[in-house]
Structure 1
C-alpha cells in the first residue's frame, strides 16, 4: 500500500514487507510535464508520437518479439504450477485391477482383484496452502514480468526508430552541405582559371567537400544497422524492413503535454515494482510452508474393491473388500534439517525484500533522470535552433561576399563548417528530445494495461 504525505512511505501492512521512503512530488520538473493534474494515460504512449509507422512497428514487436514469447511461456508455466500445487489440497482417487495365477504343491489357483483406492492429506498446519500461495504469487510475478518485457520492448523499438529518423535527417543535412560545398569548389575553380585566386584556395575547398563526403558512408551504415535492429525487434530477419523504412521522415515528437502522476502512483504503475512485490509474497509463503513442514502430517486412505478366485465370482456380494486407514507422521530427529530449511527461506525472503527496495529506488531514479534529460535537451535544442539559423544566414552572406571578391575564402570555410556542425547538432538533439520522452514514458511504467 502506497501512501504519500510530505515524504511518504511505501509499505504493506505486514511488518515483513520493506518500507521505502517515497517523495510526494518529483523534484525534477520539466516544461513538457505538469504535476497535480490528472495523470496522462500511457498504456499506448507510442500513439502520442503520432507516427503510423512507429505504431505498426511497436504493435508488431509486442506480438512477435522472441523475448515477449519467452515471457508468455514463463507465465503459462507459472500458472500450470499453481494447478499442480492446488491439486495437493484435494483427495486423490485411483483404480486398479489384477489377475494372478499361482502354483504350490501341485495345486494351481487363480486370484482376481479390482477396486478403487483413495487418499487425502488434511492440510492441518497450512503447508500445502502456503505452497499454493507461493505459486500464485509466482504466477502474478510472471505476469508482471511479461508486462515489464513489453514496456522495455516498446521503448526499445521507439528509441531505435527515433535514431533511424535522426540518422536520415543527418544524412540529408550532410548531402545538402556537400552540394553547397561542391558549388563553392566550382566557384573557386572558376576564379582560379580567371586568375582571381590561388590553388591553395581551391585545394582548401576540395578538402572541405571531401571531409563532408566522408561522413555519408558512415551515416548510411548506421542507418542500415538501425533498420536491421528494428527488423529483429519485430521478430523478422535483418533487411525485412528496408523497403518500409527507405523513405525519409521527420523525427516523431509528442503531440501534447504530459501530466505526471505522483511518485506513489507511478510505482503502482511500474510492472517491475509489482513483480518485486509478488516475489516478496512468494517468499513469505515459502517461509510459512517450511515452518509448517516441522509439524505432524496426517493422511486418510481407503480402498473398495472386489476379490475372487474366478472372474464370474467378482459379481457376487461375498467378493467385496474394503479398508480404511488413518495415519500420522511426526518428525522427531532430522538433524536440524527442518529448522535449517526455515532459515533458508527466511534468507530468500530477505533477498526479495532488498531487491524490492532496489527496484523502487531505481524506478524513482529513472523518472528523475528522464525529467532532467528532457528539460536539458529541450533547452539545448532551443539554443541550437537559434544558432543554426544564424549559421545559415552567415554562410549565405559569406558565399555572396566571396563571389563578389569582398572577403577571403577562409571566412567561407569557417561559416560552412559552423553551419554543418550546428545543423547536425540540431538533428541529434531533436532525436534526443524525442528519445527522452520515450524514456520518460518507460520510467513511468507506460506500455501495458494495469
Structure 2
C-alpha cells in the first residue's frame, strides 16, 4: 500500500510539471506621457463610438450596421469560431478516450489450412470422416486509453490554442476597426464630393451671371466678342467638372454599399441627399502611448502570437520525454450468443505503455530549434507592430493639426477671393477694369473654394485616421458574432461556437 501511494503521489507530482518556458507579457516600451500635450497625466480614453464626435446621424446609423453586415467581419468571426473548435481538439487530449465495439463473425476453416495439421493425430478411419463445421463468434467490448500528461506537453498545446483563440478574436476586432474607419472615410469623401458639386454649381451660377453681363455689354457695343467667348469658355469649363464629380459620388455610394454587404446602388436613396462634410470637434482626447498596447487589436494579436510561439517551444521540449499511456480493454467473447453475457465469457487486458524516443534522425531537435526561431520572429513582429502603431498615431496627429491650420488659411482666402470678385465685377460694370480681371477673380474664387472644401474633407479624414491608429471602435460596441442571420451559407453552424 505504501509503494502504491508513493507511486501515485510521484505520478501526480510529475503531472504538475510543465516543460518549456513560461510566457511573460512583453513590455511595449511606450512612454507614460500624453500624446497631445506632453504632460504626465491620464486624459480621457478614446470613445469606442468615436464616429459620434462628428454628430452625423447618417454616419452613426451606417456604423451601427457594420458588425452585422460587413463580410470581412463575418469572415473573421467564422475564423474565431474555427480557432475555438481547434482549441477543443487540443484540449480533448487531456482526457481519456473510450470506444465501444461489437462484432459478429461466422468462420469456416479450410481443411487444407492449419486444420490439416490435425491429420497426424487422427486414425485413417477418423481422417476419412473428419469434417470442419463453420462456427459463430460474438464479441462485445470497450477500449480505453489515456496518455498521462506528465511533462505538460498537452497543456502547452492547450495554452498555444488559447493564445490562438485570443489572436483570432483580436484579428476580428482589427477587421472591425478597419471596416469602421473605411466606412467613415468613404462617407466623408462622399460628402466632400457632394460639396464639390455644390461649389461647382454655385460658381456655375456666378459665371452664368457674368456671361449675361458680358453679352449685355456686347449688345450695347461696349465690349467685343472676345470677352463673351472667354466668359462662355469659363462656364463650360465648370460644367465639364460636374460629370467626373458625379461619377465619384456614385463610386463612393457603391463603396459604402459593399462595406455593408449590399448590392451596388443599394444606399443611393439613403445617401442621395447632399449634406455637408461631418465636421471635426475642436479637441479630441487621445490618451497616452502606453494605452495602445491595451487598445490596438493588432498589438494584442501580435502578443497572442508571441504567446502561442512560446507555448510551442514547450510542446517541442515535451516530445523529448517519455510518454506514458494507460490502456485497457474489457469485453465478452463467446461462440454462442446465449453465453455471451456470462461471467465466463469475460476477457480483459489492462496495462501501461511507455514510449521513449531514442532515434528520430534529428527530427525532434530540428523541431525544437524551429519553434525557438518562430518565437524570435514573433517577438520581432510584436516590436515592429508596437513601433508602427506609435508612428501611425504621431503621423496622424501631426497631419490633423497641420491640416486644421491650412483649412483656416483657406477659409480666409475664400473670403478675400469672394470680395475680390465682387469688386472686379463692379469695376467691370462701371468700365474701369477689363474682363480679364473678372475672369481671374472667378478662377481664383473657384480654386480657393475647392481647396477649402478639400481641406475640410481632409481634416475629417485625418481625424478618422487618428481614431483608427488609436485602435478605437470595438471595445464595448459590438457583439461577439454577427446577428440577423446574415452569415454566408455553410457557416451558420460554426458561428454558434462564438459566444
TM-score of the two chains, using structure 1 as the length reference? 0.93
Q: In the aligned structure 2, how far is the partner of 1:62 from the partner of 1:449?
A: 13
Superposed, which structure 2 residues align to 1:285-296 within 5 Å?
285-296=311-322
Is 2:424–2:438's contact at 8 Å kept on the other side of the alignment? yes
Q: In the aligned structure 2, how far is the partner of 1:235 from the partner of 1:125?
A: 49
Structure 2 residue 32 is the aligned partner of structure 1 residue 24: yes
Change (3 A) 1:293 1:185: same
Change (3 A) 1:281 1:128: same
Give the C-alpha shift of residue 81 in structure 1. Answer: 0.4
Superposed, which structure 2 residues align to 1:362-401 within 5 Å?
362-401=388-427
Is 1:293–1:338's contact at 8 Å kept on the other side of the alignment? yes
Structure 2 residue 361 is the aligned partner of structure 1 residue 335: yes
Partner of 2:464: 438
Among 427, 445, 452, the alignment partner of 1:419 is: 445
The farther-off stretch of 398-407 and 424-433 is 398-407
Structure 2 residue 195 is the aligned partner of structure 1 residue 169: yes
User: Which structure 1 residue ranges, 4+ long, deviate > 6 Å from structure 2?
Assistant: 13-17
Structure with the larger strand share? 1
Is 1:298–1:328's contact at 8 Å kept on the other side of the alignment? yes
Change (3 A) 1:15 1:326: closer
Structure 2 residue 96 is the aligned partner of structure 1 residue 70: no
Structure 2 residue 53 is the aligned partner of structure 1 residue 48: yes
Give the C-alpha shift of residue 27 in structure 1. Answer: 6.2
Q: In the aligned structure 2, how far is the partner of 1:297 from the partner of 1:315?
A: 36
- Secondary structure of the 1:107 match is coil
Is 1:29–1:371's contact at 8 Å kept on the other side of the alignment? no
Change (3 A) 1:29 1:177: farther
Q: In the aligned structure 2, how far is the partner of 1:154 from the partner of 1:230?
A: 11
Deviation readout 1:66-119 (Å, 9 max, x if unpaired): 111110011000000010000000000110111122223413322111011110
Partner of 1:207: 233
Structure 2 residue 70 is the aligned partner of structure 1 residue 58: no
Structure 2 residue 306 is the aligned partner of structure 1 residue 298: no
The farther-off stretch of 186-195 and 54-63 is 54-63
Superposed, which structure 2 residues align to 1:78-157 within 5 Å?
78-104=83-109, 105=111, 106-157=132-183
The farther-off stretch of 272-281 and 287-296 is 287-296
Structure 2 unmatched runs, 5+: 1-20, 112-131, 477-499
Superposed, which structure 2 residues align to 1:222-237 within 5 Å?
222-237=248-263
Q: In the aligned structure 1, how far is the partner of 2:224 from the partner of 2:454?
A: 37
Q: In the aligned structure 2, how far is the partner of 1:17 from the partner of 1:352?
A: 13
Give the C-alpha shift of residue 16 in structure 1. Answer: 7.2
Q: In the aligned structure 1, how far is the partner of 2:235 from the partner of 2:42?
A: 52
Give the C-alpha shift of residue 394 in structure 1. Answer: 1.2
Give the C-alpha shift of residue 62 in structure 1. Answer: 2.1
Q: In the aligned structure 2, how far is the partner of 1:146 from the partner of 1:61?
A: 12
Superposed, which structure 2 residues align to 1:264-279 within 5 Å?
264-279=290-305
Deviation readout 1:32-56 (Å, 9 max, x if unpaired): xx98353234211111211111112
Is 1:377–1:429's contact at 8 Å kept on the other side of the alignment? yes
Partner of 2:337: 311
Structure 1 unmatched runs, 5+: 1-12
Deviation readout 1:333-359 (Å, 9 max, x if unpaired): 111110000011111111111111110
Is 2:23–2:311's contact at 8 Å kept on the other side of the alignment? no
Q: In the aligned structure 2, how far is the partner of 1:36 from the partner of 1:434?
A: 27
Q: In the aligned structure 2, how far is the partner of 1:286 from the partner of 1:37?
A: 37
Is 1:297–1:329's contact at 8 Å kept on the other side of the alignment? yes
Deviation readout 1:301-350 (Å, 9 max, x if unpaired): 11111111111111211111121021111111111110000011111111
Is 1:61–1:233's contact at 8 Å kept on the other side of the alignment? yes
Change (3 A) 1:144 1:433: same
Q: In the aligned structure 2, how far is the partner of 1:271 from the partner of 1:307?
A: 59
Partner of 1:159: 185
| RMSD across aligned positions (CA) | 1.8
Is 1:36–1:260's contact at 8 Å kept on the other side of the alignment? no
Structure 2 residue 217 is the aligned partner of structure 1 residue 191: yes
Q: In the aligned structure 1, how far is the partner of 2:35 from the partner of 2:256?
A: 34
TM-score of the two chains, using structure 2 as the length reference? 0.84
Is 2:36–2:286's contact at 8 Å kept on the other side of the alignment? no
Give the C-alpha shift of residue 260 in structure 1. Answer: 2.2
